[in-house]
Chains A and B, each alone.
Chain A
Amino acid sequence: MKPPRFDYVAVRSVAEATEALAQTEDARILAGGQSLVPLMNLRLARPRLLVDVNGVRDLVGFGGRNGTLRFGAMCRHRFLETDPLVHQKAPIFAETAALIGHVHIRNRGTLGGSIAHADPVAELPALLVALDGRVIASGTGRERAIPAAELFAGPFTTSLDPTELLTAVEVPAHTDGDGGAFSEFVRRHGDFATAGVAVIVHRDASGTCESLRIAGCGLGPTPVDLSAAGEFLLGESELGDGAARELGKRVAAASDPPGDVHGSKDYRRDLAAVLAADAVRRAWQKAGAARRDPGG
């Protein structure tokens, strides 16, 4: 199938982009296009105007300040996956980005695009929730921060206003004692996850778990915050096999996933249990390793 007609503007700045969004009803941002264009090809998405932000310099780049890491919305998955600085400062982003699609999807797809698309099975929205991050949204003449917890409103739906452009993603900086892991089940390499679980652990100098955050993809209508399932591990300094499995059970019980051709509700719960146990084991170990080896 071929996409329906639309108008197209390639903008050079955030201001140009927000102006274009404000002036046309049913305008959509064109970032990597890896989700939007298939939907347009199927005529399921039919924007009147595409605002191409691929040439906006302000939207690329990655840096840290005052305990916060800021990613430009146009950071491509492939950049997150391969950039040495991202590996060092935000290893969980590198790990998660590598899970997304195939290399050619990652060559084009962007962090901001993925989050704004809000696919409930996508990895980066779940990671944003797990990290308790936020996005920066720009409208004409204004800018606001939207916490992850308030961003995802439903499948493919966010609290972004149609006239707003997601310009950046901010998460707390990675510190010693942090460990993150993203475990997902895909039927084939590069597929959308049937289910995925991100676990972010912080252990103090003695190895005690100070915080543990969990989020899932494919486990609900939006990326879901499942951190409550892990509260029993706070204050623990060891993670036994039984505890990891217990976490899996609790995550599965707390999930209310949809059933579809890729798996029933029960199947996704089964997966959630396996994935959460795996993710917490890995995150826990990394948090410990990070404490011993600050460079790692």
Chain B
Amino acid sequence: MTSVRFSLNGESAEVDVEPRELLLDTLRDRLAAKGAHAGCEQGACGACTVLVDGSGVRSCLMFTVQASGTEVRTIEGVGSPGALHPIQQALSQHHGLQCGFCTPGMVLTALELFETDPHPSRDRIEEWMSGNLCRCTGYVNIVSALESLAGTGEAPS
């Protein structure tokens, strides 16, 4: 077992884990951050996306020991039921989610997009988001939601 400390959504977290434990499992099973979902554990679907030091990563492809000393941000640190983030609001208004399983990963990936480029074109949105799979929406309304934010000129943060 290795003791690992990192910051989770601004709070300090400390866990004792085997080196093999995936960050995804630590977040979900030890730290109650269940918004990151295991869609494939093959690094192919993006449902487990979290931000590590501001960069999106697949938490199924990162061992918890590697997160030592980092700042991890999950969906739990983005918006809350009383104060949805603009990306979350836009997804709801445009009906950009159905089952919601991929949605936290979508939100975090979009968050990084808007931090990189506040006014992405449709092509840029589709390219950036292309690692996050959704089986319900056909992506149509997710793109519409993100385009609506890109068009407002307000960079969500």
A contact set with B: CB distance below 8 Å? 1-8, 10, 30, 33-34, 37-38, 40-42, 50, 52, 54, 78, 101-105, 107-108, 188-190
Contacts and interface: CB of A to CB of B under 8 A. Distances in A.
A219 B29 CA distance: 43
Nearest to B108: A104
Contact of B41 (A41, A50, A78, A101): A41
Contacts of A78: 55
B126 interface: yes
Contacts of A7: 19
A190 B128 CA distance: 10
B20 A104 contact: no
Contact of B19 (A50, A102, A188): A50
A54 B66 contact: yes
Interface in B1-23: 2, 18-20, 22
Chain B interface size, under 10 / 10 to 19 / 20 to 34 / 35 or more: 20 to 34
26 contacts: A1-B41, A3-B22, A5-B19, A6-B19, A8-B19, A30-B66, A37-B61, A38-B44, A38-B61, A41-B60, A41-B61, A50-B63, A54-B66, A78-B55, A101-B131, A102-B130, A102-B131, A104-B49, A104-B57, A104-B131, A105-B43, A107-B56, A108-B57, A108-B58, A108-B61, A108-B62
Main secondary structure of the interface of B (DSSP, over half): mixed
Contact of B43 (A2, A4, A34, A54): A34
Contacts of A37: 43, 60-63
A5 B20 CA distance: 6
Interface in B30-84: 41-44, 46, 49, 55-58, 60-63, 65-66, 68
Contacts of A5: 18-20
Interface of B: 2, 18-20, 22, 25, 41-44, 46, 49, 55-58, 60-63, 65-66, 68, 109, 112, 126-128, 130-132
Contact of B20 (A4, A102, A107): A4
Contacts, number: 88
Contacts of A108: 55, 57-58, 61-62
B65 A10 contact: yes
B137 to A, nearest CB: 16
- Name which of A2, A34, A101, A108 has the most chain B CB atoms within 10 A of its CB: A108
A2 B19 CA distance: 12
Nearest to A8: B19
B39 to A, nearest CB: 13
A115 to B, nearest CB: 19
Contacts of A42: 42
A79 B17 CA distance: 31
A41 B42 contact: yes
A8 B62 contact: no
A20 to B, nearest CB: 13
B131 A2 contact: no
A1 B24 CA distance: 12
B43 A38 contact: yes
A289 to B, nearest CB: 24
Contact of A3 (B20, B46, B56, B126): B20
Contact of B56 (A6, A8, A104, A188): A104
A190 B65 contact: no
Given A41-B41, A50-B19, A8 B49 contact: no
Given A3-B22, A6-B20, 17 more contacts: A2-B25, A3-B20, A8-B65, A10-B65, A10-B68, A30-B63, A30-B66, A33-B62, A37-B62, A38-B41, A52-B66, A103-B56, A104-B56, A105-B131, A108-B58, A189-B127, A190-B131
B65 A104 contact: no
A256 B109 CA distance: 39
